Amino acid sequence: MQLSRGVEWAVHTCLNLSWIGTDEGVSSARLAAFYDLPPAYLNKQLQLLVKAGILTSTAGRLGGFSLARRLDEVTLLDVVIAIDGPVEIFRCEQILKNGPGGSPSVDYRSTCLVSGAMRKAEMAWRKELTGTSLADLREQVMRSFPDTPEMTRGRFRELA
Amino acid sequence: MQLSRGVEWAVHTCLNLSWIGTDEGVSSARLAAFYDLPPAYLNKQLQLLVKAGILTSTAGRLGGFSLARRLDEVTLLDVVIAIDGPVEIFRCEQILKNGPGGSPSVDYRSTCLVSGAMRKAEMAWRKELTGTSLADLREQVMRSFPDTPEMTRGRFRELA
DNA sequence: GCCAGCATACTCGGATAGATTATGTCCGAGTTAGTTTGG
DNA sequence: CCAAACTAACTCGGACATAATCTATCCGAGTATGCTGGC
């Protein structure tokens, strides 16, 4: 019952790409070295972000990943879904179908009150994630840790 | 990225025990037959509820499970944690430790803004689950489906 | 008839397999930069 | 000297192992019931 590790990697990597700011792609090897992550596995996760339209990738010698949209058009939920697919924390298997008075034709995911309560909680979670964009995070970081952008660029120059 | 199936089973089973209302235990076999669930596996989940102090179990010929507390003292989060353990949807592995300016002594689970945003969303989820007790659900069911208590008792009599 | 002891049937509980998912690795297709070669 | 073709190195992308977790099952220890036999 956890999101994939890749979610954390993805969010931080998107922010890093934003600090770098160039239009040129950054290879997954360098992005992985930044946090000492397994390069091939990070690559795999970044592919998912490409499929979701959050990053673009270019092959070839100077290829790599770069941001596909503006950061204020990417919410945390977008990243979560890109990595983990359509997330459903609570799983309603409609066991009421087999209970007394249960009908095969009823969709208990919408009528069952247990399911409803769980879904309501899940919606609260999603609402928070939808309400926070990567641009919001970026701004928070700049406010709380003003050195981060330059330190990030510096580290990436070392990894050149 | 999902809660165990057992969560749904556990909630419905607690409500069923409440409809029955007797102090005598109900065996996991009967509780499972009610929804046509795998008996031994449901038993396993109910054991977890016992450990969490939500149910009590008695062995022996007329043994079984029964409610340990009043339903208004059991929240949905209690059940979720009983089944799935201490749940953390987002996993902060503190990759910032390896980044530039990262320090091994800092706890980035509390300082990292990404982690903070994720935790905030998770808190919204938990708040909803904490705010809903099984008694609340019970009342909702009685209001929306007044026949459920009697139908449940009837089915259990059949399974005697 | 009554009581003590016993066999029995049924319970939970934990230890044990099997399936599914998450994690991590490896190699190939494709592309671009730099080099080489011919005019 | 210049241009075009070529080589080589580096990129992503997906197919392939490995590890962890979730799901499900199977027996064994224990207990209350009802029976049995003696008083």
Chain segment A35-72, per-residue pLDDT in tens? 999 999 999 999 999 999 999 999 988 899 999 999 99
User: pLDDT digits over A65-118, tens only?
Assistant: 999 999 999 999 999 999 999 999 999 999 999 999 889 999 999 999 999 999
Average pLDDT over residues A6-23: 95
Residue A133: closest CA among chain B residues belongs to which residue? B117
Mutate to test the interface with A, among B128, B139, B145 (most CBs of A within 10 A): B128
Contacts of A12 (CB under 8 A, 6+ apart): A35, B95, B96, B99, B114
Count of all residues that appear for chain A in the document? 160
Q: What is the pTM of this model?
A: 0.93
The pLDDT of residue B160 is above 80:
no
CA of B82 to C1' of C12 (A): 18
Between B61 and B150, the more confident residue is B150
**pLDDT for res B71:** 97
For residue A80, the distance in angstroms to the closest alpha carbon of chain B comes to 10
For strand C, list residues 22-81 of chain B whose Cβ lies within 7 Å of it: 25-30, 40, 43-44, 46-47, 50, 57-65
The pLDDT of residue A127 is above 90:
yes
Tokens of B158: 């059949």
Q: What angle do CA B133, B138, B142 make, to 5 degrees?
A: 150
What is the DSSP pairing of strand B55-58 with strand A55-58? unpaired
**pLDDT for res A62:** 87
CB contact under 8 A, A132 and B121: yes
User: Is residue B17 within 8 Å of B67, Cβ to Cβ?
Assistant: yes
**pLDDT for res B22:** 84
**pLDDT for res A56:** 96
User: pLDDT digits over B67-90, tens only?
Assistant: 999 999 999 999 999 999 999 999
